[in-house]
């Protein structure tokens, strides 16, 4: 197992493991520059953990509905209004 021979911007040597048959790790190997660029361009275009934005918007709406229902119960959140039981929420 050889170490990557790239020198980082801060002057330190990269601590990554070199790819077999190469002197660099995946992050520094010029052969993978295009793949790294493609992956980087996807960043921030999808929701957290790969969920599409539409799903996040649907979940946000559902959370707001649930919060409203909790708050409508006597104007405050009681100790039991967010608890699930066999009879349902309440």
pLDDT in tens, 39-85: 888 776 665 566 667 777 888 898 888 888 777 765 555 555 556 55
Task: Please say whether the beta carbons of 81 and 89 come within 8 A.
Answer: yes
pLDDT value, residue 41: 80
* pTM, entire model: 0.46
């Amino acid at each position: 197992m050889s170490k990557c021979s790239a020198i980082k911007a801060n002057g330190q040597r990269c601590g990554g493991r070199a790819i077999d048959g190469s002197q660099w790790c995946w992050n520094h190997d010029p052969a993978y520059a295009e793949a790294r660029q493609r992956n980087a361009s996807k960043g921030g275009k999808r929701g957290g953990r790969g969920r599409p934005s539409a799903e996040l918007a649907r979940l946000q709406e559902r959370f707001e509905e649930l919060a409203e229902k909790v708050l409508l119960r006597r104007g405050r959140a009681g100790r039991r209004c967010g608890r699930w039981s066999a009879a349902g929420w309440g």
